[in-house]
Amino acid sequence: MNEILSLDKLDDFERLTSYDVKKYFFEYVTFVDVDYANIVNYYTERSSVNPTKAFNRLKWLIKENKKVIDAIILNSSSLDNYDYWPIVEYIEESTHTLETAQNASKWLRSSITGEGYKNQIIGEYLTREGEDLETVERNVLKSNNWQNDWVNTALENALAEEDYDLQGGHLIKTIFKNNASIFLESVIDNINTPEKTYGKDIDLRISIENDDLVVLDYKDTILQSAKILTDLKKGDDPFYPERGVNVKAFLGGSIAALSYPVLFRELAANFATDDSFKSFEISDVKGEQDGVYLEFKVETKAGEVFNQTSRL
């Protein structure tokens, strides 16, 4: 939207709706020019200062955005002239920007810790017998400064000295250091638990519940993703028609004649498109009556292993 809004039209809009839209736009422009970057810097750890003023302005704008939209709806008959359409379009654009800013921590995969937000994935680790926090930092979290970083891990888990011993079995939240950390392109969330690395998705069968699309939980989402990738055949994806399994290569043939290396390579290529998965392994291929069934095992980035069966 590039059309310039005149003060006269903004005044007319206020006269018709009794809403001071000029103040709304002024605060919105200030937010975009100044505050938005401060929020992004906070969530990406470029700044450790909580931008209170930016968050307060965002909170005010979200509240006022609802008010101005309600005013537009109530006075829609008076705003049907084209002169007011640019104003409405700018307000709609601001709505999308404010909603994005409100969920910035999820878009930036930033997770809350005892020391504020971290632009990293927080996982969980069950300590072994004989492992102290320094050992975990050095061998598991790959820290170069493990002599000091263990203090941060203790603080993030609110561990006092008497809460921790060498018996093992302590479940602690961890942040991997250096290049050992995980970044998932396929998941948008505050990833502060292992299961959140699975993401969330709508049900493949597209069903409605309580006037809204049914959304799967984390585990069902990863299982659905595995099924989709296993069932993907060449030509199913119009954007990438060469992606998927070439079922024509073995339909009508025997199991003995099936080219396992080709099948594995095609399935592995499917799973490589989703970075929620760490590894893929075919356990067995069976022929039953008129079908070929694939038994496989996938490991997620969170370390959980799922055994699945799919018909090819």
Length of the chain: 312
SS3 217: coil
Q: What is the pLDDT of residue 95?
A: 96
Domain layout of the chain by residue ranges: 7-107, 111-183, 208-311
- Residues 89-122 as b/e (b if ≥16 CB within 10 A, e otherwise) read ebbeebbeebeebeebbbebbbbebeeebbbbbb
Q: Torsions phi, psi of 227, nearest 5?
A: -65, -40
| Strands 212-213 vs 277-288: parallel, antiparallel or unpaired | unpaired
Euclidean distance between CA atoms 308 and 312, whole angstroms: 13
The CA distance from 130 to 136, in Å, is 10
- Identify which of 97, 87, 84 has the alpha carbon closest to the alpha carbon of residue 58: 97
Output the CA torsion 8→13→15→21 (10° steps).
Answer: -100
* Per-residue confidence (pLDDT) for residue 289, from 0 to 100: 67
CA end-to-end distance (rounded Å), the chain: 49
CA–CA gap between residue 179 and residue 182 (Å, rounded): 8
| The pair of three-digit structure tokens given for residue 227, joined into one six-digit string | 């099924």
Place of tokens 């309600």: 70
Is residue 57 a contact partner of residue 35, using CB atoms and an 8 Å limit?
Answer: yes
Burial label for 30, CB within 10 Å (0-12, 13-18, 19+), is: middle
Instruction: Mention the CATH class of domain 208-311.
Output: alpha beta
> Where is 260: in which H helix or E strand?
helix 260-271
Q: DSSP for 1-64? A: --PPPPHHHHHHHHHHH---HHHHHHHHHHIIIIIHHHHHHHHTTS--S--HHHHHHHHHHHHH
Spatial distance between the Cα atoms of 143 and 120, rounded to a whole number of angstroms: 14
- pLDDT attached to residue 15: 93
282, two tokens: 């075919």
pLDDT means per 10 residues in the chain (312 residues)? 80 93 95 94 82 94 96 89 88 95 85 57 66 73 68 70 66 56 70 78 87 88 89 85 76 55 80 83 74 80 81 72
Q: Taking the mean position of all CA atoms in its chain, how far away is CA 48? A: 23
The single residue listed with the structure tokens 């102290």 is 132
Q: Determine if residue 135 is left, alpha or beta; phi over 0 gives left, psi from -120 to 50 gives alpha, anything else beta.
A: alpha
CA dihedral of residues 184, 190, 195, 201 (deg, nearest 10): -70
Q: Quick check: 266 and 244 in contact, CB under 8 A?
A: yes
